[in-house]
Amino acid sequence: MSSDKAVTLRINGHDETATVPSHRTLLEALRGLGHVDVKCGCEKGDCGACAVLIDGEAVDSCLTLAHSAAGREITTLQGLGTPENLHPLQLSFSELGAAQCGYCTPGMIIASESLLRKNPSPSEDELRHALSGNPCRCTGYVKIFEAVNAAAEVMRNSGDPK
Amino acid sequence: MYGEFDLTLPQTLQEAVKALNAAGKDAVPLAGGTNVLIDLRSQRLVPKQIMDLGRVPGLRGIVVEGGRVTLGARTTVSDLLASPDIARCGPALVQAATVFAGQMVRNTATVAGNIACGSPAADLVPPLLSLDAEVTLTSTRGSRTVALCDYYTGYKADARAPDELITAISWPVPEANTFGTFYKLARRKGDAITVNGVAVSIGISDGRCVRARIALGSVAPIPMRACNAESLLEGQVLTPERIAAAAKAAAEECSPIDDVRATGAYRRRMVEVLVARLVENAVQAMT
Ligand SMILES: Cc1cc2nc3c(=O)[nH]c(=O)nc-3n(C[C@H](O)[C@H](O)[C@H](O)COP(=O)(O)OP(=O)(O)OC[C@H]3O[C@@H](n4cnc5c(N)ncnc54)[C@H](O)[C@@H]3O)c2cc1C
Ligand code: FES
Ligand code: FES
């Protein structure tokens, strides 16, 4: 039977070691390591609050085993930008009031980033499609869509691949 | 929080099938985990061993060669959406991938996982049935292919032996004169479980139907082909009356149940409506 085992996770460009049993999810391991910018909502793939990028693609960390993520590049919200150097999505979400309680925001921004890396100029439909796994209980989505569009424009103009 | 199990991460296909052969029923393959993690959490699944296929090379990708489309087992729903080959050789599959879950689940959920989960509501299965897909199963004994229409043997029961892995899914590139489409009826557009899934593939030559495939999801214990309906169309001129008769036959040959999403009676009625609509759309698209 399984017991605690060390796993090295590459999180926001740094290696960190978690000692967890094989049934621990990546969500639990990340929060255990102090990455509480990854939120825990439903733990069954419905809410997207736990989204992180794995090798550049948004996934629900509650549906990923921690040990399965060894050797992959994991990016959480804090890996996108720091308070001194905010990512355009972080900036537009705060400036345009796209967060109320903020619980959905980390996952919303990760899902948006994953979309914009593949599709820098999403249509309204493409944006809704990409965020349909991220319900928000507060905002009504209009401000969220405005914020993603504003950030997309900044990102297109800056030519910054980040 | 979950029951304890051993996690293995085989590095090659050979290593994986060997380990699976040794473990038999005790090992559960893990692909995207979007079903497995849910089942672990609810303790519907309490395995001794989980075998994560994520390190096995060569299981992800889409190839069109020799008149066939072949998908690796770990090809994701997002991979389907990004592929011009799938847009050309399996438009019904693109429609199913579009209405599949939300982005994060699409980025991890695999085609083989959708087939192997055995859910009658698995959205990729009706399109694949309408394309005459085959499933390649591999074990230490070698590989064999099973037609997807013979894959399911009963509710959540399938032709896969416990030591076999699905390694590929393939189908013939559709003829130029065929039209394929899928419709998912659900309570809302995004991230919803299917009430009825209908896929059709219709071929017309010299004004007559030369190919009819009608596949239905969520209206029987397994995803099914409506063979009676298909045989009412093949060889015929597809008049509105013909199409209506076939749609009625499809509604008669399915066996939907009542559940939290819809009643069986509603599902049966909607099979008739949707089959007629999709076949009519196909005829119109080709004339
Ligand atoms: C929020 C949410 C929304 C969803 N929405 C949809 C939806 O809209 N439509 C839909 O159809 N499904 C949906 N699903 C269900 C699920 O995402 C799909 O069934 C998905 O395709 C499963 O693939 P996976 O790779 O995640 O499979 P896993 O969970 O890894 O595995 C599923 C099953 O397949 C077996 N398996 C996997 N790969 C192989 C293989 N190569 N060989 C043999 N056995 C294998 C596993 O042992 C397991 O029994 C949803 C799930 C969630 C959590
Ligand atoms: S906590 Fe992972 S999707 Fe809700
Ligand atoms: S801001 Fe509260 S859930 Fe989205």
CA dist A51 and A61 (Å) reads 6
Report, as an integer, the average pLDDT of B1-13: 88
Model confidence pLDDT, tens digit, residues B226-260: 999 999 999 999 999 999 999 999 999 999 988 88
**Those residues with Cβ within 8 angstroms of residue B234's Cβ, 6 or more apart along the chain or in another chain:** B209, B210, B211, B212
User: What pLDDT shows up at residue A160?
Assistant: 54
CATH topology of domain B62-172: 3.30.465
Q: What is the ipTM of this complex?
A: 0.95
Model confidence pLDDT, tens digit, residues A96-140: 999 999 999 999 999 999 999 999 999 999 999 999 999 999 989
Inspect the interface and report whether the beta carbons of A65 and B107 lie closer than 8 Å: no
Inspect the interface and report whether the beta carbons of A22 and B7 lie closer than 8 Å: yes
**Those residues with Cβ within 8 angstroms of residue A34's Cβ, 6 or more apart along the chain or in another chain:** none
Model confidence pLDDT, tens digit, residues B154-203: 998 999 999 999 999 999 999 999 999 999 998 877 778 888 999 999 99
Judge if B62-172 and B179-285 fold alike in CATH terms.
no
Whole-prediction pTM:
0.96
Chain B nearest-CA residue for A48: B104
Per-domain residue ranges of chain A? 4-79, 81-158
B40 touches B152 (CB < 8 A): no
Task: Count Cα neighbours of A77 within 13 Å in the Cβ-side half-sphere.
Answer: 26
> CA B280, B284, B286, B287: dihedral to nearest 10 degrees?
130
Of A1, A43, A133, which is closest to B191 when you measure between CB atoms? Answer: A133
Structure tokens at B157: 């029961």
Residue of B130 and B262 predicted with greater confidence:
B130
Looking at the structure, give the CATH architecture of the domain made up of residues A81-158: Orthogonal Bundle (1.10)
Inspect the interface and report whether the beta carbons of B108 and A62 lie closer than 8 Å: no
CATH topology of domain A4-79: Ubiquitin-like (UB roll) (3.10.20)
Q: What DSSP string describes B175-201?
A: PTTEEEEEEEE-SSSSS---SEEEEEE
Q: Is CATH 3.40.50.1110 what the domain over B179-285 is classified as, yes or no?
A: no
Q: From the CB of B148, is ligand 1 less than 6 Å away?
A: no
| Residues paired with B170 in a beta bridge | B70, B134
B166 touches B137 (CB < 8 A): yes
